[in-house]
């Protein structure tokens, strides 16, 4: 008898106390933020544009775009609540966009706000927008029904498909708080109702200092990632090749390659001279070639490999020189230095000075494994 009474008491206590103590979150009354964009206004404030998911079958479109100005991003959030019929929730945030001006002024305060909020996922993508994020998010177009989904899926597809470096919140914060490597963010641009990833922003600490195009982004990925880089189109001079038919094609020989496996190995050769050696091994398959080259002839394939290897080497050297000129280290050479030198006591400032003076010796080992199912 007493036992039953105790059990009943426990149950009723649980039921009465636990329900209703936390703030209830009814889905229909929530505005789920899926995308947020930050711009700077002329008076130095932050203009925040958010896209809310509408959960209402009778709504004319399934998302709402709201823009507000405030001194801080959370301040903007409070003001946006005043404009919104639903309580804003950021748990479904997928993409955070920053206009170029914002990133040039420094990204970290905004990114830190995102990282501080436990409801925001560490897998949120960050990206830079060429132009204004407000315009991009407000753009009306018949081709897509929901721009926030479009941007998210496009970034997701390209990052998972190994075309551009990954830029989740976790990775950006990781690189920012690491002394020997700078974060990278993809740059997107809206034009004529399409959204295009046009390259990658070079960042020094948290400030954007330059940009590289999509092809250079491929090389960056090749250097940084162990597993796989995507496909690439390379142009080389046709000198020295014997073509089967003397076609009067384009001047340059264009080759499209798909990476099967790649490995990059960076080592510090001399810590006093800051000499690095970067070895890149690349195994590819040939997808397309724009002129009739006899691939049955091993000589031709060897030559092609050699020329493509040289081309890649010079491209990579160009990329490194470009990044060094703006003192941005997306390759993580500083981490290699820190790892190889005992008691390096590396700080970000110290490294960025050293980085500009360091020399990188690039070696590319390039191999074409297959040329498709026909020869």
Partner 1 sequence: MVNTFLLVFVVHSMQLGVGIQGFQRIIFLEAKHDAWISVLISGVATAVVGFVMVKTLFAYESSDIYGIQYDLLGKWLGNALNVIFVLYCLGAFHVIVRNYIEVIQAWIFPEVPNWLLALTLVYLVYYALNGGLRTVVGVSFFSVVLSLWLTLLLAYPFQFAKWDYLFPMFEANIPELLKGAKQMTFTVIGFEIIYTIFPYLREKDRVHRHMQFGLLFTTILYLALMVVSLAYFSGGQLERTIWGTLSLFKIVRFPFIERFEYVAITFWVILILPNLMLYMWSASRGIARILNKKEKKVSWLLLGFIYLTLIFPLNRLEINMMNDYFARGAFYLIFGYPFVLYAAVLIKKKFFKKEGEANAKNSD
Residues interacting with partner 1, by CB under 8 A?
10, 13-14, 17-18, 21-23, 91, 118-119, 121-123, 170-171, 173-179, 181, 332, 335-336, 339-343
> Least distance in Å: CB of 243 to partner 1?
45
Task: Return the bridge partners of 284, or none.
Answer: 259, 368
Task: Write down the least CB distance from residue 173 to partner 1, Å.
Answer: 6
The DSSP letter of residue 277 is E
Determine how β-strand 253-270 pairs with β-strand 231-236. Answer: antiparallel
Closer CB to partner 1, residue 14 or residue 292?
Answer: 14
Least Å from the CB of residue 139 to partner 1: 28
Least distance to partner 1, CB of residue 21, Å? 5
- Give me the count of residues in the chain: 375
> Cβ of residue 91: shortest distance to partner 1, in angstroms?
7
Is-contact 323 208, C-beta < 8 A? no
User: Which among 290, 322, 363, 99 is positioned nearest to 217, based on CA atoms?
Assistant: 322
Instruction: Please identify, using beta-carbon distances, which residue of 140 and 342 lies nearer to partner 1.
Output: 342
- The token pair at 159 is 């990052």
Of the pair 15, 374, the CB lying nearest partner 1 is at 15
Task: Show Cβ contacts of residue 149 under 8 Å, excluding neighbours closer than 6 positions.
Answer: 34
CA distance linking residue 289 with residue 148, whole number of Å: 37
How would you classify the pairing of strands 184-191 and 125-129?
parallel
Least gap, CB of 349 to partner 1 (angstroms) = 13
CB of 40 to partner 1, least distance (A): 26
Running DSSP on this structure, what letter comes out for residue 28? G
Q: Which is nearer to partner 1, 22 or 27 (CB)?
A: 22
Judged by beta carbon, residue 119 or residue 245, the one nearer partner 1 is: 119
Closer to partner 1 by Cβ: residue 111 or 236:
111
Contacts of 345 (CB under 8 A, 6+ apart): none
**Residue 124 has which token pair?**
């949120």
Residue with Cβ nearer partner 1 (141 or 157): 157
* Side-chain-facing half-sphere of 183: CA atoms under 13 Å: 29
């Amino acid at each position: 008898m007493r036992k039953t009474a105790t059990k009943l008491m426990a149950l009723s206590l649980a039921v009465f106390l636990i329900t209703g103590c936390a703030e209830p979150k009814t889905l229909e009354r929530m505005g789920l933020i899926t995308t947020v964009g930050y711009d700077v206004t002329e008076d130095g404030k932050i203009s925040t544009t958010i896209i809310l998911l509408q959960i209402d079958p009778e709504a004319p479109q399934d998302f709402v775009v709201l823009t507000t100005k405030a001194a801080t991003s959370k301040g903007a959030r409070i003001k946006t609540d005043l404009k919104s019929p639903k309580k804003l929730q950021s748990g479904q945030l997928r993409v955070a966009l920053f206009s170029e001006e914002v990133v040039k002024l420094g990204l970290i305060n905004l990114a830190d706000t995102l990282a501080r909020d436990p409801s925001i996922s560490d897998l949120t993508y960050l990206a830079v927008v060429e132009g204004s994020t407000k315009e991009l998010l407000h753009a009306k177009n018949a081709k897509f029904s929901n721009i926030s989904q479009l941007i998210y899926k496009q970034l997701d597809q390209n990052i998972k498909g190994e075309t551009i470096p990954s830029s989740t919140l976790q990775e950006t914060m990781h690189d920012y708080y690491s002394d020997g490597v700078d974060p990278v963010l993809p740059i997107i641009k809206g034009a004529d109702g399409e959204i295009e990833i046009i390259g990658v922003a070079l960042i020094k600490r948290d400030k954007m200092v330059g940009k590289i195009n999509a092809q250079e982004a491929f090389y960056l990925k090749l250097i940084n990632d162990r597993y796989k880089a995507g496909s690439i189109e390379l142009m080389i001079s046709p000198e020295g090749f014997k073509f089967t038919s003397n076609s009067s094609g384009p001047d340059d020989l264009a080759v499209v390659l798909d990476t099967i496996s790649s490995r990059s190995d960076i080592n510090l050769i001399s810590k006093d001279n800051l000499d690095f050696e970067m070895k890149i091994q690349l195994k590819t398959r040939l997808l397309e070639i724009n002129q009739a080259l006899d691939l049955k002839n091993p000589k031709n394939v060897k030559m092609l490999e050699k020329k493509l290897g040289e081309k890649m080497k010079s491209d990579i050297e160009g990329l490194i020189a470009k990044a060094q000129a703006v003192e941005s280290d997306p390759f993580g050479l500083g981490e290699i230095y820190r790892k190889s030198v005992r008691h390096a006591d590396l700080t970000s400032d110290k490294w960025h000075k050293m980085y500009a003076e360091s020399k990188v010796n690039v070696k590319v080992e390039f191999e074409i494994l297959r040329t498709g199912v026909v020869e």
